[in-house]
Structure 1
Amino acid sequence: MSRIAILALAALAACSPAPQNVAATRAAPLTSILPAVKTFAAVPVRTVSRSNTEIAQDILDLSFRMESGVPIPFLTRFDGPINVSVQGDLSDTLVTDLDQLLSRLRREANINIDLTNSTTPQIIVEAVPRRILNAAVPRAACFTVPRVSSWAEFLRMRRSETVDWTKLTKRDRAIMFVPSDVAPQEIRDCLHEELAQALGPLNDLYRLPDSVFNDDNIHNVLTSFDMLVLKAYYSPELANGMTRSQVAEKLPSLLSRLNPSGNRVANAPENDTNRDWIDAVQTALSGSATPSRRRAAARQAIQIGNAFGWGGTREAFAYYAHGRLQVGNDQRRALADFDAADRIYRANPATQIHAAHIAVQRAAFALTAGDADGVIALANGAIPLARDHQNAALLATLMMFKAEALSLQGNDAEAEAVRLDSLGWARYGFGEDRFVQARLNEIRALRPF
């Protein structure tokens, strides 16, 4: 479940209308003393929206296939208490965020897991400088492998069956490699996604609206659905070595016990996502293909989804990806794609955070047009969602948009207050001060003269 390095909010310049004739002096200077880094409180527990029949299918598809499509013959997990240790170039926030995550896993997923100083932990988190990590695995922001205990051992074993998940009959060791020198939020996001993989399912499903087990990277922290999946994984009804059919037999009663609210009539099952659609989306998100090839790949994903009648997250995400790639090429097409994605996301209560991401794109168009009221309305609607889903980068960006809109209205005092409030979140979401300054400058540059 390696996170694709091209994230939805990685560069606003790639997903906002290109300003025309912007003066270089229009930077919004940082205050001389930045506020402290802001962090989030507890993640709210939500009721999972799908039926247990649908969730059972999700668990099977997540657990018995790799992202590449290679089948996994047996369910594997850790037995007994799970100890986690950290090593490498540790950032100030890594251990704090990891400890909070382990607390959630104990509380919500009923997994016996904790930090340790033991020399033989079941799971190791190793922080590695990004340039070193990407030199070995260029497209991954972070990743997890079994049966090794260090970066040096991984480099020796990476082309062997030792690190092949499909060869396991049980889990006894795993190591998570996360970047050491990126924004606190990116490190935290890697901790959530990679620990979920180290403990449980190894696949991602683009059809899931409410999960980190989805390569759209919309969800940053483990959701209540993810916790339910992991709780099922470590329930006594399941065990190492079980086949797909054996797990399928156990899941109905198991989920009925764990999630009684899911005992209802299921929606019609969704078609599985085929390899052609996944390849098209990955090409569209890749930085290695030409812009025209990426746009063509995004159009192909839309066409494939339409042919199969896919709605929901897959349809909307294809429009979102195509819209981002049309910015600077065909502004009308870009805005139409963002509007289409927004309509789809807003129709489902489970994808409101997805709509908050679209609000950034639409706010950029509105700010360029000088529509201050429109920007403020978009920001006010999306800010609570970004905060609720603990996305500091998204939250700070929305607040910066609101600040520029308030300034356009001549409300400079409130604008400065909102901008200052955004900086603590921006330091968590973007990291170094120069990246915070760059985001401020990008948004300020969208203002009309």
Structure 2
Amino acid sequence: MAAFLALANCDETLTSSIAPQARAAPVSVAANAYVPPSAASQDLARFYQRVERDLLVRGLLRTDGGGPDTPYDAQDLARNFEAIAFYSEYPTQNVSIGSRQTDGQLSRWSGPVRIQTEFGPSVLPAVREQDAERVQSFATRLGRLTDHPISVVSRNANFHVFFAGKDDSTYVVSRLKQLIPNISQASLDLVANPRSNFDCFVFASATTASPYKYVRAVALIRAELTDLVRRSCIHEEIAQGLGLSNDSPAARPSIFNDDDEFALLTSHDEKLLTMLYDKRLEPGVTVDQARPIVHVIARELMGQPL
């Protein structure tokens, strides 16, 4: 799976960490009524089915959250938190000019997170209902873990989660232009033509005045994905959009690891989210400044003596 978080530090401008591909020719935007997927979209769905089968045969995409084979202690948790919360997955490849480097400093939401789920025309109505329920359930779980106001709304959202297929790029681009009038062309190009090895991805943005406080996020999850990988994308992209923006090969058991061992949020990842929104840490704090506090919080969460 491939996912990334692109940070923007200019007012309401989303940036991408991946260089854009050629933009598709504009066509008229269809109404958001169900339209059966094209042959190309169905081929992509079959490709993802083969990929999932291969991962499962190799014992990956685990849904057990970890166990005796994946022990970790407070020191592991603190180390992984530093790697995942203070650094970006692609820190030097933003395509927008003028974006500030935020690596080594904590970024997260300070205001309420209002999530809205949206669907491209190629997504079956029954699947839309299922995905919406999963986002709702996950948002409730995240609010409990972070003790931060996180809810699902039908209007005035600041975190949009799109489920869209290969045929839906025009619809998604049109919606993004409505939601973020000054969105960068590079971001639109990426959404219109996502690379085939990207199952899902998320954009997050801050403002120039408060570069470490997120004010908006947009996630895109491919409609052609298998059921399990769609669930995995819901977990990873929304959690990354809250501020766990990096992956680490040392993080285990965790979805914030490119090895695809775990598909769904683990107990380890739940603790990372709790740490991220602990009031003893402030947006913008550097990794060196935060380290003593991070180790205290990690020991508290693990029940180890301070």
With over 3 angstroms needed to count, the CA separation of the structure-2 counterparts of 1:108 and 1:49, relative to structure 1, is farther
Is the contact between residue 65 and residue 264 of structure 2 (CA under 8 Å) also seen in structure 1? no
- Residue 150 of structure 2: aligned partner: 113
Which structure has the larger Rg? 1
Matched position secondary structure for 2:240: helix
Q: State the superposition RMSD in angstroms.
A: 3.5
Aligned AA (1:80): G
- Structure 1 length normalisation: TM-score? 0.43
1:59-80, Cα deviation, whole Å (9 max, x unpaired): 1111222224657142110013
In 2, Cα distance between the equivalents of 1:68 and 1:104?
Answer: 28
Matched position secondary structure for 1:146: strand
In 1, Cα distance between the equivalents of 2:203 and 2:117?
Answer: 15
- Residue 98 of structure 2: aligned partner: none
1:84 to 115, 138, 146: 115
Q: 1:186 offset after TM fit, Å?
A: 2.3
- Structure 2 length normalisation: TM-score? 0.62
With over 3 angstroms needed to count, the CA separation of the structure-2 counterparts of 1:8 and 1:183, relative to structure 1, is closer
Matched position secondary structure for 2:214: coil
Identity across the alignment (%): 21
1:72 to 103, 122, 125: 103
Matched position secondary structure for 1:136: coil
With over 3 angstroms needed to count, the CA separation of the structure-2 counterparts of 1:49 and 1:14, relative to structure 1, is closer
Is the contact between residue 85 and residue 276 of structure 2 (CA under 8 Å) also seen in structure 1? no
With over 3 angstroms needed to count, the CA separation of the structure-2 counterparts of 1:214 and 1:7, relative to structure 1, is farther
Is the contact between residue 134 and residue 140 of structure 1 (CA under 8 Å) also seen in structure 2? no
2:202 to 144, 151, 160: 144
With over 3 angstroms needed to count, the CA separation of the structure-2 counterparts of 1:260 and 1:144, relative to structure 1, is same
In 1, Cα distance between the equivalents of 2:231 and 2:65?
Answer: 17
Matched position secondary structure for 1:205: coil
- Residue 377 of structure 1: aligned partner: none
- Residue 135 of structure 2: aligned partner: 98
Q: How does 1:285-364 map to 2 (within 5 A)?
A: none
- Residue 331 of structure 1: aligned partner: none
Aligned residues: 221
Is the contact between residue 93 and residue 184 of structure 1 (CA under 8 Å) also seen in structure 2? no
More strand by share: 2
Q: 1:226 offset after TM fit, Å?
A: 0.6
Matched position secondary structure for 1:240: coil
Q: 1:242 offset after TM fit, Å?
A: 0.7
Is the contact between residue 7 and residue 217 of structure 1 (CA under 8 Å) also seen in structure 2? no
- Residue 257 of structure 1: aligned partner: 300
Higher relative contact order (CA 8 A, sep 6+): 2
What are the ranges of 5 or more consecutive residues in structure 2 without an aligned counterpart?
A: 5-43, 58-62, 93-101, 170-190
Q: 1:134 offset after TM fit, Å?
A: 7.7
What are the ranges of 5 or more consecutive residues in structure 1 without an aligned counterpart?
A: 17-41, 149-161, 265-449
With over 3 angstroms needed to count, the CA separation of the structure-2 counterparts of 1:172 and 1:249, relative to structure 1, is same
Q: 1:14 offset after TM fit, Å?
A: 9.8
Is the contact between residue 127 and residue 177 of structure 1 (CA under 8 Å) also seen in structure 2? yes
- Residue 126 of structure 1: aligned partner: 162
More helix by share: 1
With over 3 angstroms needed to count, the CA separation of the structure-2 counterparts of 1:85 and 1:69, relative to structure 1, is closer
